[in-house]
Structures are given as structure tokens and as C-alpha cells.
């Protein structure tokens, strides 16, 4: 299986499976226990790997989030937890989610074994959040290990997608409004619907950006053999069906 085909076939699993823990009720409840308000734990948990930096540094890593909205979140959460500690807590929520949602019969150890070299081989260029998550300690337990590495890969795909969107003359907020549900527009600080007259044009640019994203991501799968790439696709597509 060609690496480009792998990048296209794994888009949904890479994007959607880790999303299950990120905004899950138990993750947000844990954030509230720690002292975060509303959905702040999502942003600080994801971006905390960058350290105690100015919010614009985090906005540079997220791109699709409104920088002004992010500054409000980043500043009001400053005294809740040290940034890196928040990301460690976020990673623990991922591990807990994996235990609850990944079936025992699923070969999580094999998925982790396939993901490890892919994550290790990827370059960190223009992907600071990916690099920060890759530097965190990887859980030993197979389910948690697999989801952790999948989340790291999600950050890499997201970074490559940001490059593709910007290069394709597509505003991040338009890409978000075209492809994501309205609850995400509000969460990311971009309320308001995409104008009907622009939907077709934005859709064409968004699809082109997806194609470029796949091209940019594809080389990370070259570290696997043809058979291993096919196995990775099968495992991820199955895991998406049983965790959705």
C-alpha cells in the first residue's frame, strides 16, 4: 500500500479517535477538578507542552483557533497549573479514555508497535505542538500507548493541514466553518456561519488542502513496509468503528 494512500485512508481515524478524549465529559470534569473553567483544559492541555510561553506562541501552533480568544483562555488559566503539568494531566485523561473505550480484544499492542516508528521518523518542521507531545513520556500499557501515539500523530497531521490550508489561500476560520460542526466554531472563537455564496469556492479550496495535507503527511509512513502500512490502515479503520 502506497504511503499516500495510507495518509488518505487514515485521515478520519487519526483525526476523530483522539478527539473522543479531548472534549469528552470525563476530561472536562477532570479539568474542572483541577481548577480550569469551561473548556480551558482542552487548550491548556494540548498547548501546555510548549511551556509557559506567550499565547501567540500557542496560537501559532494551533492556527485554527482565534488568537484573541486563546489569549483570554491562556491568561485566565495561568495560575491553575504549570503548563507542562497540565499536558501531563491531559495525557492521563487520554490513557483513561483508552482503557474505557478500546475493546480488550483489539490488538492495541500491535497498533502501538506500528505507530512508534512512524512518530519517531517524522520531522518536527512547522509542527511545534506535535514535537512537544512527542517529547512526553509514552505510557507502557498497550491501549494507552496506542492512543497516546495516535494523538501525537494527530498533532502532526493537524500541523501539515495548517500548512496546506494557508498555502491554498484559505482562511483557517473558513476551513473550520466548512468542515467542522458549529460547536467547534464557537469553541475556537469563530462564531458565525460561512456565507452561502462562498461555500462552493471554500469547499474546492478545502479539498485541495486535504490533498496537499495527505502529500505532506505521506512520507512518515515510508518507514513501514507495504504489508505494515496495510495493517495500520486496517487497525485504525476498525478502531474508529468501535470507538465512535
pLDDT in tens, 87-119: 999 999 999 999 999 999 999 999 999 999 999
The neighbour count for residue 130, using CB atoms within 10 Å, is 26
Residue 128 to residues 124, 144, 155, 193: CA-CA distances in angstroms?
7, 22, 9, 30
Tens of pLDDT, residues 182-218: 989 999 999 989 999 999 999 999 999 999 999 999 9
Q: How confident is the model at residue 63 (pLDDT cuts 50, 70, 90)?
A: confident
0.85 surpassed by pTM: yes
Contact 130, 124 (CB under 8 A): yes
Give dist(CA 117, CA 122) in Å, integer: 9
Amino acid at each position: 500500500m502506497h504511503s499516500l494512500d495510507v495518509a488518505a485512508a487514515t485521515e478520519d481515524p487519526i483525526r476523530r479517535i483522539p478527539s473522543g478524549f479531548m472534549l469528552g465529559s470525563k476530561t472536562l470534569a477532570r479539568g474542572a477538578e483541577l481548577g480550569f473553567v469551561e473548556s480551558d483544559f482542552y487548550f491548556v492541555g494540548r498547548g501546555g507542552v510548549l511551556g509557559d510561553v506567550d499565547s501567540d506562541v500557542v496560537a501559532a501552533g494551533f492556527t485554527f483557533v482565534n488568537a484573541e480568544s486563546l489569549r483570554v483562555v491562556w491568561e485566565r488559566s495561568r495560575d491553575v497549573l504549570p503548563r507542562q503539568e497540565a499536558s501531563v494531566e491531559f495525557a492521563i485523561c487520554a490513557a483513561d479514555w483508552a482503557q474505557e473505550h478500546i475493546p480488550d480484544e483489539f490488538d492495541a499492542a500491535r497498533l502501538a508497535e506500528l505507530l512508534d516508528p512512524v512518530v519517531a521518523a517524522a520531522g518536527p518542521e512547522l509542527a511545534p505542538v506535535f514535537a512537544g507531545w512527542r517529547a512526553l513520556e509514552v505510557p507502557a500499557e498497550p491501549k494507552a500507548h496506542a492512543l497516546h501515539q495516535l494523538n501525537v500523530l494527530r498533532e502532526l497531521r493537524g500541523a501539515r493541514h495548517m500548512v496546506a490550508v494557508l498555502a491554498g489561500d484559505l482562511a483557517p476560520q473558513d476551513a473550520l466553518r466548512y468542515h467542522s460542526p458549529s460547536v467547534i466554531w464557537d469553541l475556537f472563537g469563530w462564531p458565525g456561519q460561512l456565507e452561502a455564496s462562498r461555500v462552493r469556492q471554500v469547499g474546492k479550496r478545502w479539498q485541495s488542502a486535504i490533498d496537499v495535507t495527505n502529500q505532506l503527511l505521506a512520507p512518515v509512513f515510508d518507514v513501514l513496509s507495504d504489508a505494515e502500512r496495510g495493517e495500520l490502515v486496517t487497525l485504525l479503520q476498525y478502531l474508529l468503528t468501535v470507538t465512535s
